[in-house]
């Protein structure tokens, strides 16, 4: 589709919208509704006028180009005639009324110079006005913003349970310990203690409206970008819920009250200092080992605070590798849903440390993105909506250690 065809389509659509709006204003008895219709009508008429002006400019440009082509052809023809006449004069062929060759050559040169000057002037007008007739140029891509979703959510455990309604995952809460048994005595009971993490599906949705014209823009993929944005919006919500979900008609977030986390083991910190990372690492896991699968989840501002901690000799206390996302070789993930230490209130969680796969997200449906032109047909809007059914909970006993702020 060229630009002229695109403008014709816009004009046809806007004329139809104008007719529909005018009819709606006639039929409406509501003063407020008529006022809103009038505002929309003014806007649509303005868009129609602008499209018609651009189309007229394009048509004028094409007509002017045709005229210039004709003039250029005429110029070549005149030059050919001039060469022919000069050749005739060179070979002694006489002109009319006793006019000698030199006089005729001078007269013809003056005439062609006059025509050439007029032609050049007209060309100059065309070049000067050409930019006014061309459509606005745009880049060939839509530049994205910074990373919109924390990569934390890509590390949690997932399981496809298409069509399900709820899910429970069992986990070991504790192991018993064997005993020394004498002859004829009963065996020592050492049953492991089990529990389960309940998960009930919730629906995460996102919605957007775009003008139908976005589908017709050849250079920029606005429409595809909006569809992608719907999926990003749902993923952002899932990331937020995995941390802050209350568990009531929401996912059960790590910072809520999941059954698998013993709140008595939460760690209180009153400052960001040289011992902060140790508090996370050594308070995580059981008594028999230092777990090595942990990832530190924190706000970007808290990471900055860690970077500013100094040793006694003035060297940085923490070696933060931004490229590989590690702090003293410990992996970290930034998530804006975590409170930064400086602005957090007492008792609010500022860091989480643990194995991301200790949080599980069952997926009960495919991610569905749909569009419709019915809802706002008269306005020429395309409505796009996305949805997915998911759940989430901590599935490992003390799968995370939570660090919260304590007033110094």
**Half-sphere exposure (CA, 13 Å, Cβ side) for 158?**
16
Name which of 122-136, 160-174, 273-287, 392-406 the model is least confident about.
122-136
pLDDT averaged over the chain? Answer: 80
What integer pLDDT is reported at residue 176 of this predicted model? 84
Residues in the chain: 408
Name which of 67-81, 182-196, 200-214 the model is least confident about.
67-81
CA 180/CA 188 separation, integer angstroms: 8
| SS3 label, residue 367 | coil
What integer pLDDT is reported at residue 330 of this predicted model? 94
**pLDDT surpasses 70 at 209:** yes
**Half-sphere exposure (CA, 13 Å, Cβ side) for 347?**
2
> And the tokens for 124?
């100059």
What integer pLDDT is reported at residue 61 of this predicted model? 75
Q: Which residues pair with residue 206 across a beta bridge?
A: 386
> And the tokens for 310?
């100094």
Encode pLDDT of 244-297 as tens digits: 999 999 999 999 999 999 999 999 999 999 999 999 999 998 888 888 889 999
CA 352/CA 324 separation, integer angstroms: 19
Encode pLDDT of 292-326 as tens digits: 889 999 999 999 999 999 999 999 999 999 999 99
> And the tokens for 149?
């979703």
Average pLDDT for residues 363-389, to the nearest whole number? Answer: 84
What integer pLDDT is reported at residue 389 of this predicted model? 92
For the stretch 59-66, contacts whose Cβ atoms lie closer than 8 Å and that sit 24 or more positions apart, written own/partner, are 59/4, 60/133, 61/130, 61/133, 64/126
What integer pLDDT is reported at residue 108 of this predicted model? 58
**pLDDT surpasses 70 at 37:** yes
290-to-118, 180, 264, 329 alpha-carbon distances in Å: 90, 29, 19, 14
The listed range with the strongest mean pLDDT (83-92, 184-193, 235-244) is 235-244
* Neighbouring residues of 51: CB distance < 8 A, sequence distance ≥ 6: 7, 10, 11, 14
What integer pLDDT is reported at residue 329 of this predicted model? 93
What integer pLDDT is reported at residue 28 of this predicted model? 74
Report CA dihedral (79, 81, 86, 88) to the nearest 10 degrees: 160
Name which of 166-175, 202-211, 311-320, 376-385 the model is least confident about.
376-385
Residue 39's pLDDT band, with cuts at 50, 70 and 90, is confident
Are 254 and 352 within 8 A, CB to CB?
Answer: yes
Encode pLDDT of 126-157 as tens digits: 223 333 333 444 444 555 555 677 888 999 99
Residue 216's pLDDT band, with cuts at 50, 70 and 90, is low
**pLDDT surpasses 80 at 117:** no
Are 388 and 362 within 8 A, CB to CB?
Answer: no
pLDDT: which is higher, 233 or 34: 233
End-to-end Cα, the chain, rounded Å: 68
Residue 340's pLDDT band, with cuts at 50, 70 and 90, is very high
**pLDDT surpasses 60 at 380:** yes
Average pLDDT for residues 105-123, to the nearest whole number? Answer: 53
Query: What percentage of residues in the chain have a pLDDT greater than 90?
Result: 36
Average pLDDT for residues 69-93, to the nearest whole number? Answer: 56
Average pLDDT for residues 193-215, to the nearest whole number? Answer: 85
What integer pLDDT is reported at residue 84 of this predicted model? 53
* Neighbouring residues of 341: CB distance < 8 A, sequence distance ≥ 6: 269, 272, 299, 301, 302, 305, 350, 405
pTM of the model: 0.61
């Amino acid at each position: 589709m060229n630009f002229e065809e695109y403008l014709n389509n816009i004009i046809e659509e806007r004329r139809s919208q104008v007719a529909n709006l005018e009819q709606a204003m006639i039929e409406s008895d509501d003063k407020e509704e008529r006022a809103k219709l009038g505002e929309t009508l003014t806007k649509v008429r303005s868009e129609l006028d602008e499209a018609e002006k651009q189309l007229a400019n394009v048509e004028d440009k094409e007509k002017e180009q045709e005229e210039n082509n004709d003039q250029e052809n005429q110029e070549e023809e005149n030059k050919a005639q001039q060469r022919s006449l000069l050749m005739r004069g060179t070979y002694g062929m006489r002109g009319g009324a006793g006019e000698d060759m030199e006089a005729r050559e001078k007269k013809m040169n003056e005439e062609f110079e006059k025509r050439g000057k007029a032609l050049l002037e007209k060309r100059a007008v065309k070049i000067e006005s050409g930019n006014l007739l061309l459509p606005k140029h745009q880049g060939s891509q839509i530049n994205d913003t910074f990373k919109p979703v924390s990569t934390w959510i890509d590390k949690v455990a997932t399981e496809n349970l298409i069509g399900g309604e709820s899910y429970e995952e069992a986990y070991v809460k504790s192991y018993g310990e064997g005993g020394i048994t004498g002859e004829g005595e009963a065996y020592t009971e050492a049953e492991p203690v089990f529990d389960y993490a309940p998960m009930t599906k919730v629906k995460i949705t996102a919605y957007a409206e775009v003008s139908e014209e976005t589908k017709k823009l050849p250079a920029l993929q606005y429409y595809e970008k909006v569809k992608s944005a719907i999926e990003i919006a749902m993923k952002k919500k899932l990331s937020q819920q995995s941390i802050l979900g209350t568990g009531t008609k929401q996912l059960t977030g790590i910072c809520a009250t999941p059954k698998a986390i013993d709140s008595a083991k939460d760690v209180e910190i009153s400052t960001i200092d040289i011992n902060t990372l140790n508090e996370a690492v050594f308070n995580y896991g059981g008594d028999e080992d230092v777990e090595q699968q942990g990832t530190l989840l924190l706000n970007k501002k808290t990471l900055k605070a860690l970077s500013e901690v100094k040793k006694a000799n003035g060297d940085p206390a923490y070696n933060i590798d931004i490229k590989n996302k590690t702090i003293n070789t410990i992996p970290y993930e930034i998530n804006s849903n975590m409170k930064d230490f400086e602005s957090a209130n007492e008792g609010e969680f500022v860091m989480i440390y643990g194995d991301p796969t200790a949080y599980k997200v069952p997926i009960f449906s495919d991610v569905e993105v749909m569009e419709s032109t019915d809802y706002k047909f008269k306005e020429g809007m395309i409505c796009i909506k996305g949805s997915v059914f998911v759940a989430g909970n901590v599935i490992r006993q003390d799968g995370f250690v939570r660090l919260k702020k304590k007033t110094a």
